[in-house]
Structure 1
Amino acid sequence: MPLAALTACAAAVLSLATARAQAAPVEVLHYWTSGGEAKSAQLLKKMLEEKGDTWVDFAVAGGGGGNAMTALKTRVVAGNPPAAAQIKGPAIQEWGDEGVLLPIDDVAKAGNWDHLLPPEIARIMKYKGQYVGAPVNVHRVNWLWINADALKRVNAQPPATWDDFFKVADALKKAGVTPVAIGGQPWQEAETFESVALGVGGPDFYKKAFVQLDQATLKSPTMVKALETFKRIKDYTDDGQVGRDWNMATAMVINGKAAMQFMGDWAKGEFTVAGKVPGKDYLCVAAPGSQKDFTFNVDSFVFFKVKTAGVEKGQKDMAGLLMSPAFQEAFNLNKGSIPVRQDVSLAKFDDCAKKSSADFKSAGANGGLVPSWAHDMLVSPAVEGAFYDVLGNYWSSKDETAQQAADKLAVAAKTN
């Protein structure tokens, strides 16, 4: 090889090595630690590293994200935030108020996010008119997942009303199958109640109670009925629920140890990883009474101002990747959710996802599209935590009445 060519080759190798050495670490705090979620995190890591960036994993277990948020606060207070963190809903605005977030408006404008995102979601991703968050999906929360064989065993149809639900649950119990799988964790109890409240009271009631935090509605007969219905479900759960993670409850349905689970569509990722087929092995139906409504939960990442030089390039690379069609498709196929971008084809998605997408659009048109308060999308963390406490105590209490719990919800709504 001529000397000039050798010199050019050596320079290229040196340049590549220097670039790799200078690739700043992008530390990513997330709580995608179960099957379908963990697979999605690995995909994002691979795509980011293909852009020449270095992914540093900061995974914190706990499906509700509470542990992750505690870890995040500790790091930010110490002046050493991660480059990116999985944050959503009102918490984005709270971190914006602290002045610690990195604006990514340039990435959003280049990607035409305002055109691609539903306005209800775009607003959540902005702080004072500027994008600071990148959304990756839309989860439907008010799902009921059903083991198809368990339903056939008692010759029943998916329950459309609460009366239907309890009739099916009674038949399953008599057949020796645990009717409802749940994990005894505050967020799981709260999510179950949220779906019950929507199904019992409808979207107008839901908005008055949880969007407006209207005192009269929180203490109303409709809220009492919702609480009574919620507590009645406990009779159809097992004694081993305390501390059980959500994916372990999903596994009970997958394995036929339980028949049904109230859970957002991240549960579908667990069915997919287990090789189960919707419509054959399991059924996805709206929680009773909420067929025309849609409680949404959007996963998103925000980016923190960090001191390490060169990290901003990786942060903005990641923001662009999160909203890229390739990641939106692959991520949501793994996760069980639907793309937040409105232009991604659903050709590769299953019937549950297609139903979710159709219901999302129709609920948006008829007033039935509501954010999930149980999943950080609506009320402040303080109010959410207070609601969790009220519902958890009511779920475990043998003596507390539904009216007493409703009165406590009204008080909890005033939490600062």
Structure 2
Amino acid sequence: MNFMKATTAGIAFCAAGAVSAAELEVTHWWTSGGEAAAVAEFAKAFDATGHTWIDGAIAGSGGTARPIIISRIIGGDPMHATQLNHGRQAEELIEAGLLLDLTDVAEAEGWKDIVNPTSLLDSCTVDGKVYCAPVNIHSWQWIWLSHKAYEDAGVPVPSNWDEYVASAAALEAAGKIPLAMGQQAWQSSGAFGVINVAVGGVELWNKINVQKDAEAAGGPEMAKVFEAAAAARAMAANSNVQDWNQATNLVITGQAGAQIMGDWAQGEFQVAGQVAGQDYTCLPGLGVNEVISTGGDAFYFPKQDDPEIEKAQKELAALLLSPEVQVNFNLKKGSLPVRGDIDLAAANDCMKKGLEILAAGNILLSGDQVLSADTSGQIEDLMVEFWNDPSYSAADAQAKYASIIADAD
């Protein structure tokens, strides 16, 4: 489907579903500078339809926001739309019949033909019905390097993980933090996942996360991953910040050499006026295994006992995947669009790297898509212990990890 046909299809659906003006409360956890600029594009587009976007931002990470969101839906005080990650987070809400079926929207808009990769829409689909609108592809598989920090340290900007680890001593000698890392559990767990893919490789990751192979989780290849994570823990020892965007700011200001963080970090670099390839370098797959995970964000729509509100919800769902909105939102978010039929000529160097990897098919599912919330939570708990306790050996952490995978659902 070309851009003009896609635009026409979107207009046709919205015209067919036109309703009287409605106010929709939309909850999400996008509160950093770059995130706020991105979500404002959604609000602006929805308000332009004559409806009103009531912003329900929840401060903190997804780990903070998700329990609040789910509690409200289960407790009978649902918002009209909410961000979650496409994957298994909404399974229980769908099973309880609390979320709106969007299959008619997906079919009218041709989502099956335009959403790329198809696993994104598959993650929104349960028993043949579509329950969410995927809006972006966010990959964890990046390390962001500060040119200023390396210039001050007098060493070249690394091109891969091994060079980066070797540069840590020079960074420390120059008074820099080698690795910026916030104190929230999801950050250390996410960084571990990135190291897992980069050092262990995609095949090992799939064995453990998809096939739940506990023997591989406890094996010698995974031991190398835990040793690399222990090295990262040492490099992050003096990173005394809490939030992810505070850690990103350490890289932006040259106080830290690097941060392992998803591509949403690009929004912060953009707000700060920094230029990819000039002020910072991005290395997908830590410069070792150039691959991106295809996790990301999606919007779910809790059921309402109001036909007019339901029509407005479906209009918003269609709008979120419309070509213009996909471009405007993702350019500011730093994420990749879920549509495979739009032009992102304005993308920066890092986004273009991600698009090239996506086009080449070098992708893997995200942890949210293959691990239950319970298993993911156990891994997060383990990572909190491991990253915060230098005496927790790589071998002991690996043994605990293998036991979690053995019982994973």
Cα deviation 1:281-308 (Å, max 9, x = unaligned): 1111124354332222221101111124
Kindly report which structure 2 residues correspond to 1:59-138, keeping only aligned pairs within 5 A, or say none.
Answer: 59-63=57-61, 65-88=62-85, 89-117=87-115, 118-138=117-137
Cα deviation 1:37-67 (Å, max 9, x = unaligned): 111222211211221222222211223x112
With 38-47 and 283-292 compared, the bigger mean Cα shift is at 283-292
In the TM superposition, residue 322 of structure 1 has moved relative to its aligned partner by 0.7
With 185-194 and 129-138 compared, the bigger mean Cα shift is at 129-138
Q: Return the match for 2:27 from 22, 25, 29.
A: 29
Tell me what 1:230 maps to: 229
In the TM superposition, residue 195 of structure 1 has moved relative to its aligned partner by 0.9
Check whether the contact 1:169–1:236 (CA below 8 A) recurs between aligned residues: yes
Kindly report which structure 2 residues correspond to 1:273-288, keeping only aligned pairs within 5 A, or say none.
Answer: 273-288=271-286
Structure 2 Cα separation of the partners of residues 164 and 87 of structure 1: 36
Tell me what 1:141 maps to: 140
In the TM superposition, residue 395 of structure 1 has moved relative to its aligned partner by 1.3
- SS class of match (1:310): helix
Q: What is the RMSD computed on CA atoms of the aligned residues?
A: 1.9
With 144-153 and 351-360 compared, the bigger mean Cα shift is at 144-153
Letter of the 2:303 partner, please give it: K
Structure 2 Cα separation of the partners of residues 345 and 81 of structure 1: 36
Kindly report which structure 2 residues correspond to 1:310-349, keeping only aligned pairs within 5 A, or say none.
Answer: 310-349=308-347
Structure number with bigger Rg: 1
- SS class of match (2:263): coil
Structure 2 Cα separation of the partners of residues 158 and 98 of structure 1: 51
Kindly report which structure 2 residues correspond to 1:402-413, keeping only aligned pairs within 5 A, or say none.
Answer: 402-413=394-405
In the TM superposition, residue 268 of structure 1 has moved relative to its aligned partner by 0.4
Provide structure 1 residue ranges, at least 5 long, that are not aligned to the other structure.
1-18
Tell me what 1:260 maps to: 258
Structure 1 Cα separation of the partners of residues 75 and 319 of structure 2: 29
Tell me what 1:369 maps to: 363
Structure 1 Cα separation of the partners of residues 36 and 28 of structure 2: 10
Structure 2 Cα separation of the partners of residues 33 and 377 of structure 1: 24
Structure 2 Cα separation of the partners of residues 168 and 140 of structure 1: 25
- SS class of match (2:369): coil
Structure 2 Cα separation of the partners of residues 234 and 170 of structure 1: 14
Check whether the contact 1:80–1:306 (CA below 8 A) recurs between aligned residues: no
Cα deviation 1:229-255 (Å, max 9, x = unaligned): 11211222253535x100010011111
Letter of the 1:316 partner, please give it: K
Structure 2 Cα separation of the partners of residues 212 and 160 of structure 1: 32
- SS class of match (1:87): strand
Check whether the contact 2:134–2:298 (CA below 8 A) recurs between aligned residues: yes
Does the C-alpha gap of structure 1 residues 238 and 400 become closer, same or farther in structure 2, counting only changes over 3 Å? closer
Structure 2 Cα separation of the partners of residues 180 and 398 of structure 1: 15
Kindly report which structure 2 residues correspond to 1:207-218, keeping only aligned pairs within 5 A, or say none.
Answer: 207-218=206-217
Aligned length: 389
